Structure 1
Amino acid sequence: MDANASFPPPVNQTARDNLTWKPFSVFDGCDSQVEGILFDLTVQCINVVVGIPANLLVIAVLVRKRKNPATSDIYLGCLAFMDAYFGSMTPISFLNLYHWHSKEVWSALKFSYGVKDTSGPLLLSCICLDRFLAVVFPLAFGRLRHIKYRLALSALVFALTLAYSAAKVVGGLPGFEKVFTGEILATFTWMVVCNASILRALKKSGGVGKDDMRPMKRKAFKVVLSILCIVVVNYLPPVALFPFEDYYSPDVFSCYVQPVGFAFLNISSTIQPLVYLSRLDKVPFLPDACVRKWCPCVAQEEDTTTSTSNTSD
């Protein structure tokens, strides 16, 4: 409410307000320009069909290997949990758009969007930091290998995610959209620089007398390269579009530019777990025939590994 507005309002002002009052709309001002929002929700349907099972499978794999975990597994587990939660909200979003029209449900959905906006970039940044220390600064990585450091960093990510999501639900905060733009720019820049440094260090580290290390470094190279591809595909569109908000009309930016940019960001809830599962030597809980049918690249890698071991024998 304007600070200069009188209270209570004059009778004629109240009458005008009653005449112009509109029921709550979950399209949030884009009632006549819904194409961008529907495009985002359609893309999110992939998260329901593929993303949720893939993220649950990632969690199951991490639980199964909990006795011999990797240092970044805690970040992967948090990321899979957050992505599964976000994907589970998509059916509720469709029901609220076309059936419930509930403001309370819309607040819960805005909270889930805040979780996705914050947790994904921050947790991926943590994974990049973990790999960066392991490859570029191995001595420092050895000193910081204890899980307490990763638990503390994960707790910080959860706190920031909760604060951002709560502020998104409240809404109306001046310049709040700039917070996400700044966050996505900062995390994108960090992840690109970090992964580029890792790739450069891995390419330099191969040399004479290190033949026994080459397979491990080649695997690390593939891991980092896959993360870099995820960063570019999922985060480059919003990074390229959102900083130019002032060049678009408010309606075009809110109803078209933002939903399309977020669609690329939201589909990462499916791409991230699939990339992780594709890097596994063997996907547990799934029969080999199923893996060979749907993941021919994994099957080909297994065949190559088997033939190489047979040759060496």
Structure 2
Amino acid sequence: MEVLYINSSVLFIHKPANTSAGGGDITVYQQCRDMPAVILFYLGMQFINMFLGIPTNLMVLWLLHKNKGDSSSSDIFILHLALLDTFFCLIPPLELANIVYLTTSSTWYVLRFFYGVKDCSPLFLSCICMDRYMAVLHPITFTELKDRGHRAVGAAAAWLVTLAYAVAKCVGNIPNFEKAFTVLILAAFAFMLFCNGLQDGAHHPGHHRR
């Protein structure tokens, strides 16, 4: 789905509008005019992400709609992940305008919100891994819960956390807030490794007997 993942915390997204020595506002591009290659590389990657990511995510959405009659239990999480990634892929034009042309600080809040939404995409990946884990390791419980609405509740809870995180990132004045991203990524990565590792062990039980 998403082709490029960039944590905005280490790039331009947290910078407010800058002021020149003469007192006038200047753009990020003007501030970094001595090293334009960095900005051009960053924007180039963002537009590659947009041109490849949007068609890919739209194809995923189309396939989910086409195969609605033969859907899997994880489709609801894949659907929301594709929507989230498509949402994120729309920001490069605004980011280009904000870095090269605009000096207002209001667009930084919008961009931080977009990046906050993207930061939480591992939540939906974790939900997919959890669903597959239950199907492989606990098939009886999985079958009993398959037709219930807990997946919709899980997706709604993931969106609630995502929007709360994005709003907090948009505000931008919470001390040590960047640590929340680090904790989120590490926790989601560890959880997905745990689920996938157990699934792999269940598919290849002979490996543990050797």
Please give the range of the TM-score, normalised by the shorter of the 2 chains.
Answer: 0.7 to 0.9
Counterpart amino acid of 1:70?
S
Counterpart amino acid of 2:93?
P
Question: What's the counterpart of residue 150 of structure 1?
Answer: 151
**Post-superposition CA distance 1:212-255 (Å, at most 9, x none):** xxxxxxxxxxxxxxxxxxxxxxxxxxxxxxxxxxxxxxxxxxxx
Count of aligned residue pairs for this structure pair: 186
Q: Say yes or no: does 1:130 pair with 2:131.
A: yes
**Partners of 2:205 and 2:198 in 1: CA distance:** 11
**Partners of 2:125 and 2:48 in 1: CA distance:** 21
CA drift at 1:57: 1.1
**Partners of 1:91 and 1:115 in 2: CA distance:** 17
Match of 2:48 among 46, 49, 52: 46
**Partners of 2:46 and 2:168 in 1: CA distance:** 23
CA drift at 1:99: 1.6
Question: What's the counterpart of residue 60 of structure 2?
Answer: 58
Kept in 2, the 8 Å contact 1:26–1:103? The answer is no
Greater helix content = 1
**Partners of 2:37 and 2:131 in 1: CA distance:** 40
CA drift at 1:102: 3.1
Counterpart amino acid of 1:74?
I
Output aligned runs, 1:1-313, within 5 Å.
23=25, 38-118=40-120, 120-204=121-205
Identify if the C-alpha distance between structure 1 residues 97 and 137 changes in structure 2 by more than 3 Å, giving closer, same or farther.
Answer: same
| Structure with larger Rg | 1
**Partners of 2:206 and 2:145 in 1: CA distance:** 22
Question: What's the counterpart of residue 18 of structure 2?
Answer: none
**Partners of 2:179 and 2:172 in 1: CA distance:** 13
SS in 1 for 2:150: helix
Alignment root-mean-square deviation, CA: 2.5
CA drift at 1:39: 3.8
Structure 1: runs of 5 or more not aligned: 1-18, 207-313
Identify if the C-alpha distance between structure 1 residues 104 and 37 changes in structure 2 by more than 3 Å, giving closer, same or farther.
Answer: same
SS in 1 for 2:69: coil
**Post-superposition CA distance 1:287-308 (Å, at most 9, x none):** xxxxxxxxxxxxxxxxxxxxxx
Calculate the TM-score normalised by the size of structure 1. 0.54
**Partners of 2:149 and 2:206 in 1: CA distance:** 30
